[in-house]
Structure 1
């Protein structure tokens, strides 16, 4: 045992010098930082668009509803449906024809012949 050094601080096999262990730690740190930078760039999100802004997918809108504009072509971010308004139960696909309800409302119908509307839960 080396005098003044705790056994847990020694290299596993005793053959590595302190400089080679430091180099290995440095290489590991550089690799980890590089991976984090790449992942951070991959997961960077654009700010959500406000109502009326052009969109191509519902996930781009703060309301989570990208509504198709048949008259002008294209699509725009639209507000979620209010109480008693026509609705869809959920967002499917990138664009909507009718938006889902606001968060505290439920999209349902009591009559299968009537369209779905937003109601209190």
Structure 2
């Protein structure tokens, strides 16, 4: 991810480096802002909520990570590829890694492009169990 920051000409500060490290650690859970902030604060005790928020916002704006809302909470994920997220009550949100499902998502994107003229920038599917 640091390479993407360099490509985007974003300075790599100690706080950004730690934020990236925590995002990678928490990647499988689709962490909320609060969870990310608490994780960064463990190693960067002087980091402010606004610094973490502004850096997450920058990473989303530049397409390095993406965010989505679930039950009133902003969640973050690193995967930019179309996939299905599975949410279970009071558990983490996880990625469904199934090749058949991914093929169907590709089909949906192609149909939307070819038949509806919609150029898909990002596809996020969230399923609750």
- TM-score norm. by structure 2 comes to 0.27
TM-score, normalization by structure 1? 0.28
The one of the two structures with greater contact order (alpha-carbon pairs below 8 A, sep at least 6) is: 2
Q: Flag the structure with larger Rg.
A: 1
Structure holding more strand per residue: 2
